Amino acid sequence: MSRPHVRLLGQGIRYLTTLRGGGSAFPGLVMERLHPGFVAEELAKLPHGVVLISGTNGKTTTTKMAVQLLRSQGYKVFTNRTGSNFVRGVAAALLGEMSLTGRLDADIAVLELDEAHAVHFVKQVKPRHALLLNVMRDQLDRFGEIDTTRRMLAQIAAATTGTVVLNREDPRIVSLAEHVPEGTQTRWFGLSAPLRPMFPSDDDMRSAGGPDAESDHEQEPAPRPAADVELTSFEANRVRLTVGGEAVETTVALYGVYNMYNAAAALALALAVAGPDADRAALVDELSRVTPAFGRGETITVDGRPLQLLLVKNPAGFRLSLASARPGDYATMIAINDEYADGRDVSWLWDVDFHSLRSGGVDVVAGTRAWDMALRLDYDEVAVREVVPGLGDALRRFLAGAGERPMRVFCTYTSMLELRRELSRVAEVAEI
Amino acid sequence: MTDRTVHLVQLYPRDMNIYGDWGNTLTLKRRLERYGYAVRLSDHDPGDPFPSDADLLVGGGGQDSGQFRVQEDLQRIAPELRAMAADGLPMLAICGLYQLFGHEFRTGAGETLPGIGILDLTTVGGPTRLIGNIVLESPEFGTVVGYENHSGVTRLGPGQAPLGKVLKGAGNNGEDGTEGARVHHVVGSYLHGSMLPKNPAVADHLIRAAVERRLGVFDAAPLDDTLAERAREVAQARPR
Ligand SMILES: [Zn+2]
């Protein structure tokens, strides 16, 4: 088949799968089979190249922010926003964005890829810019070990031709600088010294006495490279940043300190892409207009009461979510599934510190691994009102028992999908 | 009045702590407290003076890099650990530390890490990771449930008792149906999970041995393990 025919076939399949609400990657699979170089050839035409965002936590939110920041600077951005972060998903997204004459109306691509798929991707397409966020325990049952994940990110750094933007506060990410090839720049985003203790790495997780005890293994701090963007401090949604040595202030309508840090990462990336032409003030201003990505702290209103959905998938993310609000003020539900997409291994729950929930307790624990979660909370001496594995029942009981309190639900990926479906019967829930 | 304090020591929590190993420490600590004993919890990390008054040792898994970092220190304290094990001091060694409790571990990269030989076993790095939910049948502890994630292939010596027979999962090597190893009051295993929260029988065996060794008698009323029972039922029914 000739190229345009293959593309039109792919676009047709994409249209049909959209009609039936099917998987977003399937048309991409067809394209990959029929025309293996399709993605690389199309992306190579983009005048500002490809930006790749990877890491364990915060990819989706950070990608969304980076796209918005770059659009505010006049870039025509192509992105894989369907959340299908496979090479195939990129192909499918490309098909969706192209006109029937095969023109992609974009001058830069900003792509979110998980570590394993990114390695596969950079063999076909060399990114001009890469933003590498963090390496944390997540889905180790698939990738094996954290050090393996770090090596995957090293391959991305090594394949990047323009600038690699790195997280100065994650030791495994810092060590990637040595993989950045000659001729490619390394830029950094970071945290002020007072904020660093809020982001414990997986390496300093547990010492004697548990989470309350001081670690007696303080290591000599290594000298830190200067960061283009540093998160200085924050208070509620008010954020102070140091950008290129200059103090700036803005608001960010996102939940939690980790999202503030993602905003700093996205800003550092946008500055690297735009280079000396960047309108710094406009970029900082644009940050105040970003909104949460699906499930990353989105708020759904149920009977006039706010319910916040918080995706949790690894210890560091769960700990940061817990630290982001005073638990006593909320009705709390936790839903833990162990389906393939969540990761079958629930051992990571033991690396989360649940002390902060003691004062208010947990109203409902749900999901396939509800009993594991209840057992975990029992060993941290957190009271649980009810254990209801079925998510529909659990949600109804939670809504009925929450009273006037605002609600928050910590949930794994598949439990969030199901809870959103259940919620859409009683509330306005945005389409994914 | 006798001092009802039990000294619980974590081995290498800095370098060998992944897959929820903290859950094992926490389970021992809480259960001891709920049984009415006080717990002194301390860490042993490379270079620290070894706490010779330990009553109960627990250590976990790690990256290969973590094993390299603790290996030298482990050799330093090996004579004391071997004497303690022979004297009936209970120890739980999971995954990476389990491997180092054997004779040696030859990594996938071809390097050899000497072990301390408390357990009669050797391990070689295998080509694939053995990953998934696992269920064992143990002569002493009944059904044992957990999650395994290792590339090490472990072979037991001829006289070495396993922790149990694999009912579902891979175990020591995916071939002979054994999982873990047992000697004196030492339990070695690939089971994360964490292992002890969902296996109170194993936790209580270690606790009883520690208390009896220190105080002569273990006299506590049983705990309510309903939550653990439910979680065990679910864990056995989940796909690998
Ligand atoms: Zn392991």
SS3 track for chain B? CCCCEEEEEEECCCCCCCCCCHHHHHHHHHHHHHCCCEEEEEEECCCCCCCCCCCEEEECCCCHHHHHHHHHHHHHHHHHHHHHHHCCCCEEEECHHHHHCCCEEECCCCCEEECCCCCCEEEEEEEEEEEEEEEEEECCCEEEEEEEEEEEEEEECCCCECCEEEEECCCCCCCCCEECEEECCEEEECCCCCHHHHCHHHHHHHHHHHHHHHHCCCCCCCCCCHHHHHHHHHHHHCCC
Enter the ipTM.
Answer: 0.96
Asked if residues A229 and A246 have their Cβ atoms less than 8 Å apart, the reply is: no
Least confident of A1-15, A228-242, A317-331, B33-47: A1-15
Q: Do B26 and A345 touch (CB under 8 A)?
A: no
Question: Stretch A29-44: mean pLDDT, rounded?
Answer: 67
What's the pLDDT at B212? Answer: 97
Residues in chain B, pLDDT under 50: 1
**Range with top average pLDDT, A46-60, A199-213, A272-286, B32-46:** B32-46
Question: For A351-369, what is each residue's pLDDT tens digit?
Answer: 899 998 998 899 999 999 9
**For residue A218, what pLDDT is reported?**
39
More confident residue, A215 or A415: A415
Nearest residue, CB atoms, A140 vs list B27, B65, B149: B149
Q: How far is the CA of A351 from the centre of ligand 1 (A)?
A: 14
Cβ within 8 Å, pair B147-A346 = yes
- Greatest extent of chain B over all pairs of C-alpha atoms, in Å: 56
Predicted pLDDT of residue A208? 45
How confident is the model over A132-155, as a mean pLDDT?
Answer: 78
Question: What residues sit around ligand 1, an ion, with C-beta below 5 angstroms?
Answer: B 61, 95, 150
Provide the annotated active-site residues of B. Answer: 95, 192
Q: What is the pLDDT of residues A281-327, one digit of tens each?
A: 999 999 988 876 655 667 889 989 999 988 888 887 788 788 776 66
Read off the pLDDT of each residue in A250-270 and give the average, rounded to a whole number: 88
Tokens of A344: 């079958």
- Name the average pLDDT for chain A: 82
pLDDT tens digit sequence for A99-118:
655 667 889 999 998 888 88
Say whether A369 and B149 touch across the interface (CB within 8 A): no
Q: What is the mean pLDDT of residues A182-208?
A: 78
Q: What is the pTM of this model?
A: 0.73
Residue of B nearest to A344 (CA): B132
| Interface list for chain B against chain A, based on CB atoms closer than 8 Å | 10, 13-14, 17-23, 25-27, 29-30, 41-43, 45, 63-65, 129, 131-133, 147, 149, 151, 192-194, 197-198, 227-228, 230-231, 233-235, 238-240
Indicate if the pLDDT at residue A152 is higher than 90.
yes
Q: Which residues of B touch A212 (CB under 8 A)?
A: none
A386 vs A290, more confident = A386
CB contact under 8 A, A348 and B193: no
What pLDDT score was predicted for residue A349?
94
Smallest Cα distance from B44 to chain A, Å: 9
Q: Specify the range with the lowest mean pLDDT, choosing from A21-30, A55-64, B67-76, B204-213.
A: A21-30
Question: Residue A35's pLDDT is what?
Answer: 60
Q: Return the top range by mean pLDDT from A79-83, A207-211, B163-167.
A: B163-167
Q: How many CB pairs under 8 A join A and B?
A: 112
pLDDT above 90 covers a percentage of chain A that reads 47
